[in-house]
Amino acid sequence: MIDINIIRTDKELVKENIKKKFQNDKLPLVDEIYELDKKIREIKTNGDELRKKRNDISSKIGLFMREKKIEEGNLKKQEVVEINKKLESIEKEEEKLSLVIKEKMMVIPNIIDNSVPIGKDDSENVEIEKFGEPIVPNYEIPYHADILESFNGLDKDSAGRTSGNGFYYLMGDAARLSSAMLSYARDFMIDKGFTYCIPPFMIRSDVVNGVMSFSEMDAMMYKIEGEDLYLIGTSEHSMIGKFKGQLIKEDMLPITLTSYSPCFRKEVGAHGIEERGIYRVHQFEKQEMIVICKKEEEMDWYNKMLSYTVELFRSLDIPVRTLECCSGDLADLKVKSCDVEAWSPRQKKYFEVGSCSTLGDAQARRLGIRAKGEKGNYYVTTLNNTVLASTRALIALLENNYQEDGSIKIPQVLRPYMGGKEIIKAK
């Protein structure tokens, strides 16, 4: 949610930003909010004048009563009663208008950074840099589900019986390898100075509304029937929600946390759910990083966080590239975002394995997260980034470490988490 002062002082900036995001249907909202805000400020001014008048009259009542001017005092009391009735009506109208304004403000997209390329969708995202040589070996790389099945590592048939499409069992070395990657990612981030956290895996609706847009919520979140709880789609949700309504001492900033969680996603959309593999599923595990900082530190942390994910994947012998998300591909709360994509030697192209984003103070405004500084209180800046998402990272590791004999070479950094094992052989 943007600062309403931006609409008060520069409506055209907000409209131009909406156009850059190709959401022209939201343009009328800007003028509607502007007029509603003007009306509510007039109501507040009227209310303030009435309260001042009431205070003046109240002070005179005491004087009349002391001077035994009972009739005059009672008349003034009646005036106070009438003013209170007007104030009650005004306050109800103010509350009603405030709710309408908030609803409309919640769907106005955040002001994007000037560096964000303008484009309609992800097909117009811009490559920034490649890391590692994207090699295609002179032997065939099988589909990842076939690789996993070759060492009895994947069972989707049983998961279909227990849970339906979009779920899976990882077995044996595959399950151990997935856990090893998550443990390594956890320790990698701890070594970077981040505090490790395991958060709640369910959150209330007021937290959901604070961390994401309505369209994202509908497409992603699973609602717990009969309760005000949702399953998290990423631990960023509960990690940012941890600070809801808090006033943080400025000397505690930046707050740097890395969190583990399972993630649950409906995956609603045209792409559907992949039938055989584990690329797009309803459930996976993830190591995440979040930063809460001052506005002036925002881009330093953004670049630092992005570099950590690149460094981690390169340590797993996986070539990656970074891709700047264009304006039309940015979620409404985001100021700037960059995808990390891993090389697929089987498909001979890159695919998304993570995303680094700064949301400015949008989440902080929705959730009431402020810092107490020397010059007063202010809304903090929030950033998040994927360290490692289990299923997609596993696919990238399998393909890039697949050997001609069908075995999987285990990267050096993972071997301590695999009991010293150097290779996984097909059964």
Per-residue pLDDT tens for 138-173? 999 999 999 999 999 999 999 999 999 999 999 999
Residues 6+ apart with CB under 8 A from 424: 151, 173, 177, 407, 408, 410
Question: Each residue of 322-348: pLDDT tens digit?
Answer: 999 999 999 999 999 999 999 999 999
Residues 222 and 264: beta-carbon distance below 8 Å: yes
- Residue 253 and residue 366: Cα distance in Å, rounded? 19
CB count, 10 Å around CB of 55? 11
pLDDT of residue 75: 77
**Shortest CA distance to 286 belongs to which of 201, 136, 397, 386?**
386
**Shortest CA distance to 256 belongs to which of 346, 175, 352, 189?**
189
Beta bridge partners of 169: 155
- Residue 246 and residue 248: Cα distance in Å, rounded? 6
Beta bridge partners of 341: 321, 352
Residues 297 and 254: beta-carbon distance below 8 Å: yes
Residue 416: helix, strand or coil by DSSP? helix
Alpha-carbon dihedral 281, 284, 288, 290, rounded to 10 degrees: 60
Question: Where does residue 67 rank: exposed (0-12), middle (13-18), buried (19+ CB within 10 A)?
Answer: exposed
Dig out the tokens for 313 from the structure.
Answer: 């994947």
pLDDT of residue 82: 85
Question: Could you say which residues of the chain have pLDDT below 50?
Answer: 270
pLDDT of residue 393: 97
Quick one: DSSP state of residue 296? G
Residues in the chain: 427
pLDDT of residue 271: 54
Q: Which residue has the tokens 């998961």?
A: 159
Strands 370-373 and 247-249: parallel
- Residue 97 and residue 90: Cα distance in Å, rounded? 11
Structural domains in the chain, sorted by start: 4-105 (1.10.287.40), 122-424 (3.30.930.10)
Question: Each residue of 363-376: pLDDT tens digit?
Answer: 999 999 999 999 89
**Shortest CA distance to 169 belongs to which of 151, 152, 156, 178?**
156
